[in-house]
Chains A and B, each alone.
Chain A
Amino acid sequence: EDQVTQSPEALRLQEGESSSLNCSYTVSGLRGLFWYRQDPGKGPEFLFTLYSAGEEKEKERLKATLTKKESFLHITAPKPEDSATYLCAVQGWGTASKLTFGTGTRLQVTL
């Protein structure tokens, strides 16, 4: 059974204070690892897909990296508008594109 664990559950940063969110996973053959951003009361917004260990992707202040056991979402010099819940999900081979989600990291960035 695929499993995803995200840490920390919540993170409070000051504006400009860089940090990383962790996503540990177990999957029987990784087809892809996904990061989403979710604002309160809204649907998840797609950020990144990572396919294999060693891969990195960047978007503005966010950079996602992938190893064989975990993924990190690095946030560089965050701004208050980066405040959201960040969700990690994995997709294994032979699962008809189903996703297994973690419970998310709730990020708050203050001035």
Chain B
Amino acid sequence: DGGITQSPKYLFRKEGQNVTLSCEQNLNHDAMYWYRQDPGQGLRLIYYSQIVNDFQKGDIAEGYSVSREKKESFPLTVTSAQKNPTAFYLCASSLGLAGGPADTQYFGPGTRLTVL
């Protein structure tokens, strides 16, 4: 089955710790994204990557870091510098069409991070 997997489903972190969220896709998509979802707010873009070994900051990148060493994988690290990390984190991927028709994003199941 083609799709996007995220792990773990639930993650608990103590204050001051860094944690890494995993995102893997087997859709052969070039572009990958990380979003954060909080109650009552729309999904907000943290980081995105259009190609291996390259990534850009989204709207709320402070306190987060990413890497894109393989096409299939786009892990997100939530650092201790992120002031309010408790949220639902969603990974997405798309073909990464630079032009032409709209580039549909497909989402993984999400990781719920709770800071204790």
- B109–A42 CB distance below 8 A: yes
- B110–A43 CB distance below 8 A: yes
Number of residues on chain B facing chain A (CB within 8 A): 30
Query: Which chain A residues (24-82) contact chain B, with CB distance < 8 Å?
Result: 31-34, 36, 41-46, 49, 51
Query: Which chain B residues (38-73) contact chain A, with CB distance < 8 Å?
Result: 40-45, 48, 50, 56, 58
In Å, the complex CA distance between A102 and B41 comes to: 8
Quick one: closest B residue to A100, CB to CB?
B42
Number of residues on chain A facing chain B (CB within 8 A): 26
Kindly state whether residue A18 has any CB partner on chain B within 8 Å.
no
Shortest CB distance B59–A (Å): 9
Quick one: closest B residue to A93, CB to CB?
B99
- A104–B50 CB distance below 8 A: no
B41, B45, B106: the one contacting A98 at CB < 8 Å is: B45
Quick one: closest B residue to A6, CB to CB?
B42
In Å, the complex CA distance between A110 and B88 comes to: 27
Residues of A within 8 Å of B96, CB to CB, are 97
Besides A44-B90, A97-B105, A99-B43, 17 new A-B residue pairs in contact (Cβ under 8 A), listed by A number? A32-B101, A34-B104, A41-B88, A41-B112, A43-B4, A43-B107, A51-B101, A87-B42, A91-B103, A96-B48, A97-B48, A97-B94, A98-B33, A98-B58, A99-B105, A100-B42, A101-B44
